[in-house]
Structure 1
Amino acid sequence: MSLRISLLAVLAVLAAAAASLLPATAARASSLGGWNLGEQHAVRQAGVMHDLDDQAFHGERPVSGHELPEALAAFAAQLGVAPVAAPSSGVSVTTFDRLLVAQLGATDVAAAVQHEAWSAGLQPPATFGTEVVARYLGLRDNHPFPHEELELFPTDAITRAEAAHSFAVALKWQGGGAQAARDAFSRFVLPSYTAAQERVLRLAVSKIGMPYIWGGETDGAGMGFGGQEHGGYDCSGFVWRVFKLSGFSWGRQIRGRTAASQAGEIARGARIRLDDVHPADLVFFGPGRFWQKATERRIVHEGIALSPDWMIHSSDQGVYVSPLRLDPWRAKRFSWARRVL
């Protein structure tokens, strides 16, 4: 009798514990799926994506089954073009980006970017070209701290909320996305690299598409100083990952962890102007001018130069490639560069 009472008591405790977890689980699902309700509404209104059978959108769920072919066909109809072939099963972020870049008509741009990086000896991952184009067009987006549980790795299954964001942005391009990418990357030319530059930049481009994580510097959760809750990097953390955590000897001279400290720990006479940037230089941005002291307010961002005209960095599109001198907005905010190699 006492054993039966004990078992009933244990079951009651387990049931109560399970019930207490339900609100937290529901809240997490709501957070994962409800961060962009406006974009979900927009793609429903456009007929590109629809609610599921229970009349809810469920942005937290992976795109699966017939959803992606139907969405791409509906989007293609909006553009007045033929739909691209898509698998009728779940796809990763990178596969989704490749398909949407193709549907936008920018596959040739992505292929040219891929070829240029390969010809330069950077051994880019197979997804490099399409991720560069997709992120230039804004098809991915950063989830600000403290909501970084929403971030997806490139190999993660694309969720319905993330797909809705991409389609909503693509719809705003009004069919002009391919031309915008073509105009930007027609000048994507990389130089010949030294052996040292090649080693550093190969590692940098291998991280294309990794998420921006505030304070992040490592590839996975639970790693790094203090342990990250999600793998990825902030801008200076990306530099830290490439030069310091890689074990490259050149990283020993980098001591500070923030962009401002890395910009400020060199003598003013060692600062480099925009026209003199070399591959693998650290490039710094903000309201700080060439002659001013580096402070956290003056130096607010940094990246790694691929060439005098292009850089790779971690920002609002995760790790991606941006114009350097070719973008007047970015060139205006350039403070100085630092040579590490």
Structure 2
Amino acid sequence: MPLRRPFLLLLLAALAVAAGIVLPATSARAAARGSWNLSEQRAVRLAGVMHDLDDQAFHGERAVAGAQLPDALAAFAARLGVDPVKAPSSAVSVTTFDRLLVAQLGASDVAAAVQHEAWHAGLNPPAAFGTEVVARALGLRDNHPFPHEELELYPTDAITRAEAAHSFAVALKWQGTAADVARAQFAQFQLPTYTAAQKQVLRVAVAKIGMPYIWGGETDGAGAWLGGQEHGGYDCSGFVWRVFKLSGFAWGREIHGRTAATQAGEIPKARRIRLDDVQPADLVFFGPGRFWQKATERRIVHEGIALSPDWMIHASAQGVYVSQLRLDPWRAGRFSWARRVL
């Protein structure tokens, strides 16, 4: 995904340089937070779902507040020909916003089924697990690639107008089919009976649902120490590193490498596991690398943790979320091998 360079921010910076003015860092961050998706902001304005504020500016950097969310959901519901869901007239978190929009899309039943299955399997899912799984499967969240990761929101942060505009713009593109797509995708969401060890590991993984994707990230919060990450979140191997290594499990001692390629390559080929033999809590690796080839950074480019032979949890473009494994032809086609740690 190409790095975004918000036009407004660049224009402000150029004017500042020309005038010999140094923009405060906070002003630059605010401009970036509000202008990274100007085309989506324009799309929701044209659709009548969101509007400029009283000063005739969109202000994507501000939190959605007051009557903005109820009005937006009502306008969106009118386009779908359904009743609007009830929304508070106050700032709401990312997870609350996702829950309301998933409900407005008619997919609350899917989220509830996912939530119940994770609970029934003993994974102690957070309250927002089901709706975050569905919201991120539908692409309602977005990734801010390095070096713009300061734009990422935590699940508990107040949703900004820019982030809400992205979600509504994606929802508009579904043209009323989002609920059917979600039902089809999660119709086979079934989790097995876990061993005690598998349950311990997967509870940690599931608890991270919705955390942002951060290049090099391996912790929930920013690190102030030398070389620490500037924003909390996870990359794909950092997520696995957190679950197995940094959570203090004895099984983490088996893992030494920090990247997906090194974790895939530090076992002998005889211990590699094929897709049909994947079990819960196995590390699953993806890329152009084939089962018999040496693991290199070019061949192994992604990893996750299996929830079952058919489902995985991982950190990628939608943050930490759940995806199909064997059931998805693209992901199955990019599967290299798996590794059993437990």
TM-score using structure 1 length: 0.93
Q: Does 1:280 align with 2:285?
A: no
Residue number in structure 1 paired with 2:177: 176
- What CA distance in whole angstroms lies between the structure 2 residues aligned with 1:233 and 1:312? 12
Counterpart in the other structure of 2:3:
none
**1:155-304 correspondence to structure 2 within 5 Å:** 155-222=156-223, 226-304=227-305
> What residue identity is the alignment partner of 1:201?
L
CA shift in 2, pair 1:149/1:251, >3 Å: same
Q: Which amino acid aligns with 1:149?
A: E
Distance in 2 between the 1:233 and 1:224 partners? Answer: 17
**Partner in structure 1 of residue 76 of structure 2:** 75
Match of 1:11 in 2: none
2:190 aligned partner, one-letter code: V
Distance 1:177 1:218, change over 3 A: same
Which residue number in structure 2 is paired with residue 33 of structure 1?
34
Q: Which AA in structure 1 matches 2:180?
A: Q
Number of equivalenced pairs:
323
User: Which moves more between the two structures, 145-154 or 215-224?
Assistant: 215-224
* 1:231-256 alpha-carbon deviations (Å, 9 max, x no partner): 00100000000000000000001000
Q: What SS does the aligned partner of 1:303 have?
A: strand
Matches of 1:178 and 1:264 in 2, distance apart? Answer: 40
Find the aligned partners of 1:55 and 1:145 in 2 and give their Cα distance.
Answer: 31
* Deviation larger for 26-35 or 280-289: 26-35
Matched, 1:147 2:132: no
SS in structure 2 of the partner of residue 192 of structure 1: coil
Distance in 2 between residues matched to 1:151 and 1:285, nearest whole Å: 25
- 1:121 aligns with 122
**Partners of 1:23 and 1:225 in 2: how far apart?**
24
Instruction: State the identity %.
Output: 83
Counterpart residue identity of residue 339, structure 2? R
CA distance in 2, matches of 1:276, 1:151: 36
2:303 counterpart SS class:
strand
Q: 1:308 Cα shift? A: 0.1
- Aligned counterpart, 1:105: 106
1:305 aligns with 2:313: no
Cα shift at 1:225? 7.5
Structure 1 residue identity aligned to 2:111: A
TM-superposition CA deviations, 1:39-63 (whole Å, max 9, x none): 0000000000001111110100000
**Residue range with higher mean Cα deviation, 24-33 or 37-46:** 24-33
Q: Which residue in the other structure is 1:6 paired with?
A: none
* 2: CA distance, partners of 1:38 / 1:224: 37
| In structure 1, C-alpha distance between the alignment counterparts of 2:255 and 2:24, rounded to whole Å | 46
Deviations 1:242-277 (CA, angstroms, capped at 9, x unpaired): 000000000001000000000000000000000000
Structure 1 portions without partners, runs of 5+ = 1-19
Contact 1:217–1:224, Cα closer than 8 Å, also in 2: no
Determine if contact 1:218/1:224 at 8 Å carries over to the other structure: no
Deviations, residues 151-199 of structure 1 (Å, cap 9, x unaligned): 0000000000000000000000000000000001010000000000000
SS in 1 for 2:188: coil
CA distance in 1, matches of 2:24, 2:35: 16
SS of the counterpart of 2:192? coil
Shift of 1:226: 2.2
Question: How far did 1:24 drift?
Answer: 3.2
Name the Cα RMSD after superposition.
1.2
Please list every run of 5 or more consecutive structure 2 residues that lacks an aligned counterpart in the other structure.
Answer: 1-20
User: What residue in structure 2 maps to residue 321 of structure 1?
Assistant: 322
In the alignment, structure 1 residue 57 sits paired with structure 2 residue 66: no
Q: Is the 8 A contact 1:200 1:242 kept in 2?
A: yes
Q: Following TM superposition, by how much is the alpha carbon of 1:228 offset from its aligned partner in structure 2, in angstroms? A: 1.0
Q: Classify the secondary structure of the residue corresponding to 1:279.
A: coil
